[in-house]
Amino acid sequence: MGPLAFKQEELFTYGDYRNWTDDDRWELIDGVPYDMSPAPSPRHQLLLAQLLRQFTNYLDGKPCLAIPAPFDVRLPEADENDDQVATVVQPDLSVICDRSKLDNAGYRGAPALVMEILSPKTAQKDLTIKFVRYERAGVPEYWIVDPAARNVKVFSLGANGRYGEPSVYPEASHPRVKIFPDLEIDLKAVFVE
């Protein structure tokens, strides 16, 4: 049974999360469960497919991987064991370059790049709670794809460990991926409908 059967003020860990038996998808951020149901819209999934295609084409034969949700990314605070980790998220797209952190449960640590596609149900969480958590975990690049505004905001981690002002790219642009300077994403192909 999922976390809604428990007291709302109770905090959970990855050890609890792994034992929930309902069919809903959940994220756990700083011990607080967030329901990810219902499934994303077709528009959301088409945007994800276009982004995934561009990343996987570029990464073919390279050491990094682009992995779409559902895919668990555990973000430990320090060296706690997996059962004690209080944050496990499912970014829409994760780019991972350190394969030693990849295991059968997903990924442990900060991916090189995380992407979230905004939807009415998750936008506030993506823009605030997950933003802060990705920053704290040290995710170098955080992309927020906004289907309604038809743009992408790219946040880069500064030397101070904080995200600065985002670079905003409209649908007809070709933003460069900072972790791969020779990769440009064709947003016109992403926002095609």
Q: Over the stretch 58-89, which tens digit does the pLDDT of each residue have?
A: 999 999 999 999 899 999 998 888 888 888 99
Contacts for 142 with CB less than 8 Å, ≥ 6 apart: 113, 114, 115, 116, 131, 134, 135, 154, 155, 163
Topology (CATH level 3) of domain 3-190: tt1808, chain A (3.90.1570)
**Model pTM above 0.95:** no
- Tell me the C-alpha distance between 22 and 117, whole Å: 25
Contacts for 140 with CB less than 8 Å, ≥ 6 apart: 110, 112, 113, 156, 157, 178, 179
Q: Give the tens place of pLDDT for each residue, 16-73.
A: 777 777 667 787 778 887 776 677 888 989 999 999 999 999 999 999 999 999 899 9
